[in-house]
Amino acid sequence: MTEEKRSLNFIEQIIEEDLANGLETSKLRFRFPPEPNGYLHIGHAASICLNFGLGLKYNAPVNLRFDDTNPTKEEQEYVDAIKKDIQWLGFKWDKELYSSDYFMQLYNWAIKMIKDGKAYVDSQTSEEVARQKGTPTQPGTDSPFRDRTVEENLDLFTKMKNGEFEEGEHILRAKIDMAHTNMLMRDPIMYRILKKSHHRTGSEWNIYPMYDWTHGESDYIEQISHSLCTLEFKHHRELYNWFLDQVYDPEKLRPKQREFARRNISYTVMSKRKLLQLVEEGYVNGWDDPRMPTISGLRRRGYTPGSIVDFSETAGIAKRDNVTDIALLEFHVRQELNKIAPRVMAVLDPVKVVITNYPEDQEEILIAENNPEDENAGSREVPFSRELYIEREDFREQANKKFFRLKLDKEVRLKNAYIIKANSVVKDEEGKILEIHCTYDKDSKSGSGTEASMRKVKGTIHWVSIKHAVKAEVRLYDRLFTDEAPDSYKDVDFKDFINPDSLKINKNTFVEPSLKTAKTGDRFQFQRLGYFNIDDDSTVENLVFNRTVPLRDSWAKMQKKG
C-alpha cells in the first residue's frame, strides 16, 4: 500500500504530535525486542513491520534487542533464527543488542536504588509474597523485611549476586507502595536468584533481572524514543515510568512506552509457548513446519516476504484486540504469486488418456507462455504425445451442462495444446476408469492461428505427457486447527482442536519435465490447482512440492458478499 493511500495509524499520530511539540526527528529511535525463547510468528511480523516501518518512514535507526533475561528458556538457536527471519522479511537493524549486555549497569542501578531506600531484599517464600499481594480491591501487606537497613540490603544483595544463596531464598524488590491501586506497583520483584547458565553470560550471574526492571532501562540506555509494545503491557506503563524516574537524567531523552493490539489470526495460535508445545509434542515437524504460523513455517510453505509485509500493512495497527481473518494473508500471497510465479502443469490425481488418432511413435514440443501476467516471463517447451495424464475429476462419463470439463462425446481443450473429444472408457472389474480413449483435432493446436485453433470449446483442462512426466511428491496443507479461536476456551485445551487432516501427502503426482531442474524455494502456479513451491526436503530424485495456497480466493469472495 502506498503512503498516500492510507491515513496515519495512531502510533504515527503520537509521533507526529511529539515532533510538533519539539522532539527532534534525529532523536527518533525504535527497537524490536524479541525474547529468544522461540521462533518468530506472524504476530511478531506486525511488530517488526511497525517498528522497522517507522524507522524507514522517519529515517530513524531501529535496534534489534534480544530481551534475554530468562536463561531457563533462551537459546542461541532462537537468536539465529530470529535474525534470519527479520532479514528475510527485508529489514535492516541498526545495532544488534542484548539486554544481558546491560546486566552490570542494571546491577549498579539496583545498588543505587538500595542506597536511595527504593529497593530491599525480601527473604520470604514466593507463596508468602504472593499471599501479601492483596487483590485489586484490597491493599497488600508489607513484607516483614521491608524496612531492612541499607547496609543489610547491600550485604544480602551482594551475596545474592555472588551465589551465596540458593534459588528462592531471597529476592530484590522495589519499594513502592503495597496499597497501590495498580497491583503491579505493589513492590514488584526486580531480581531473583537463578543458578542457570545464560546463553551469553555463561555462569557469570546468579541473579537475573525481571522484565519490567530490564525493559525500560534498556530503552533508556539505548535512548529509544518510542518503545512500542502490545496491550497487555498497558498496566506496566506506570511501573516503566517509575523505574525510569529512579535513574533518569533530564539531559537525556526519556523513552515513552505506547501500546498497540496484538495481532491475532483465525484458525491458529500465536504464542511461542503454545507453538513450542506443538513442536515438542510432535503435532508438527518442527518450528518451520509449513502449517505453523511462524515466519520460518510460512517461508517454507512458499510465502513471499512481500506478501507478509503487505498483509501486516493492510491488517494495520489497532488500539483494541481483534482477530484478523487468515484469508487476508492468503489473499496477499496469492496476489503476489499471481504476478511472479511461472505457470506449469501438474496432475495430482492422474487418469490416463489415450489419443487414438495420434501416431504411436510421434511426439512434439509445444510452446507455453510462462506467465500471462508478466510479459517478460517468456515461454517454455512442453512435450506432447499420444498418452497423457489428466485429473481424474476432470472427466465424467455423464454430467450435466454445468460440467465444462471432459465428458463422453464432448470436447475440451487441453491447455496449450489441442482440442480432444472423449469416445470411450476402459474400466477394471470394480468399475474404476483405467483409460479414457479420445481423438484429437489435429488442426486445433493452441496459438497455431488456424480456424480450428480458434474454435471455442467450453472447458480447458491441464495435462502432462506420460512418457515425459516426472513423478513428484506433493504436500497439501489445510488449517492446523478446526476452530477459529482454538485457544479461547477456558476448559478445552487448544490441542483438542488440531485438524487431523492438516497434511496430506500425495506421492503420485506427475509434473511436466520443465520442473526437473527446480530448486529449493522456487515457486510455481500449478495451473488450475494452486501455488506450489519446492520444499527443503526436495532432491533431484524425489521432487517435493508444498501447496502454498489453492487458487480459490475466499477472501475476495467474502469481501464482495460484504
Residue partners of 372: CB distance under 8 A and separation at least 6: 343
CB 35, min distance to Mg ion, A: 5
Which of Mg ion, ligand ATP, none is residue 33 near (CB under 5 to 8 Å by kind)? ligand ATP
Please enumerate in sequence order all residues whose Cβ is within 8 A of that of 222, keeping only pairs 6 or more positions apart, or say none. Answer: 29, 31, 63, 65, 95, 97
Site string for Mg ion, 35-64 (x = CB under 5 A): x-----------------------------
34 touching ligand ATP, by CB under 6 A = yes
Closest to ligand ATP by CB, 91 or 526: 91
Does 231 bind Mg ion (CB under 5 A)? Our answer is no
Going from the C-alpha of 508 to that of each of 96, 159, 348, the distances in angstroms are: 47, 67, 7
Q: How far is CA 416 from the centre of its chain?
A: 37
Tell me how far, at minimum, the Cβ of 251 lies from ligand ATP, in Å: 28
Interstrand relation of 189-193 and 171-174 (parallel, antiparallel or unpaired): antiparallel
Does position 75 bind ligand ATP by CB under 6 A? no
Pairing of strands 96-98, 119-122: unpaired
Q: 348 contacts which partner out of ligand ATP, Mg ion, none, CB within 5 to 8 A by kind?
A: none
Per partner kind, with CB cut-offs from 5 to 8 A, the member of Mg ion, ligand ATP, none near residue 47 is ligand ATP
Query: Among Mg ion, ligand ATP, none, what does residue 314 contact (CB within 5–8 Å per kind)?
Result: none
Q: Which of 29, 263, 272, 405 is catalytic?
A: 272
Answer yes or no: are the C-beta atoms of 386 and 358 closer than 8 Å.
Answer: yes
Query: Smallest gap, in angstroms, from Cβ of residue 10 to ligand ATP?
Result: 15
- Which residue in the set 230, 285, 335, 460 belongs to the binding site for ligand ATP (CB under 6 A)? 230
Of the residues 173, 262, 413, 479, which is catalytic?
Answer: 262
Residues 19-38: x/- map of binding to Mg ion (CB under 5 A)? Answer: ----------------x---
Per-residue binder mask for ligand ATP (CB under 6 A), 45-64, x = binder = -xx-----------------
Active site residue 300: no
Which listed option, Mg ion, ligand ATP, none, makes contact with residue 386 (CB within 5 to 8 Å by class)? Answer: none
- Is residue 262 part of the annotated active site? The answer reads yes
| 43 sits near ligand ATP (criterion: CB under 6 A) | yes
Count the residues of the shown chain that bind Mg ion, applying the rule CB under 5 A: 1
Q: How far apart are CA 95 and CA 98, in angstroms?
A: 10
> How many residues contact ligand ATP, by CB under 6 A?
15
Say if residues 289 and 477 touch (Cβ distance below 8 Å): no
CB 468 within 8 A of CB 513: yes
Helices (H) and strands (E) in the chain, counts: 13, 29
Identify what 43 binds: ligand ATP, Mg ion, none; CB under 5 to 8 Å per kind: ligand ATP
The interface region with ligand ATP, picked from 38-46, 136-144, 175-183, 395-403 by CB under 6 A, is 38-46
Q: Does the annotation count 175 as an active-site position? A: no
Residue type, 421: K
**Could you tell me whether strands 207-209 and 189-193 are parallel, antiparallel, or unpaired per DSSP bridges?**
antiparallel
Q: Nearest distance from residue 14's CB to ligand ATP, in Å?
A: 16
Q: Whose CB is nearest to Mg ion? A: 35
Q: Based on CB atoms, which residue is closest to ligand ATP, 230 or 285? A: 230
- Residue number with the shortest CB distance to ligand ATP? 43
Contact with ligand ATP (CB under 6 A) among 229, 295, 333, 515? 229
3 state DSSP class of 470: strand
Q: Answer yes or no: are the C-beta atoms of 378 and 514 closer than 8 Å.
A: no
H/E run at residue 436: strand 433-441
Shortest CB 416 distance to Mg ion, Å: 52
Quick one: which of 113, 119, 174, 270 contacts ligand ATP (CB under 6 A)?
Answer: 270
CB of 50 to ligand ATP, least distance (A): 8
Rule CB under 5 A: say whether 211 interacts with Mg ion: no
Cβ–Cβ under 8 Å, residues 133 and 186: yes
Q: Which one of 35, 169, 435, 473 is the catalytic residue?
A: 35
Given the complex with ligand ATP, which of 272 and 413 has the nearer CB atom? 272
Nearest to 230 by CA among 411, 35, 423: 35
Lookup: cell for 453: 485453433
Rounded to 5 degrees, what angle do the CA atoms 498, 499, 503 make? 120
**Dmax of the chain from CA atoms?**
102
C-alpha torsion angle, residues 510, 516, 518, 520 (rounded to 10)? 80
Q: Is the dihedral of CA 166, 169, 174, 180 positive or negative?
A: positive
Residue 292: Cβ within 10 Å count: 26
List binders of ligand ATP among 451-490 (CB under 6 A): none
As given in the structure block, the three cell numbers for residue 479 are 488449517
Q: Which of 216, 125, 109 is nearest to 157 (CA)?
A: 109
Q: Which residue number, 99 or 546, has a Cβ lying nearer to Mg ion?
A: 99
Summarize as ranges the residues that interact with ligand ATP (CB under 6 A): 33-35, 43-44, 46-47, 67, 229-230, 262-263, 270-272
Q: Which residues are catalytic?
A: 35, 262, 272
Summarize as ranges the residues that interact with Mg ion (CB under 5 A): 35
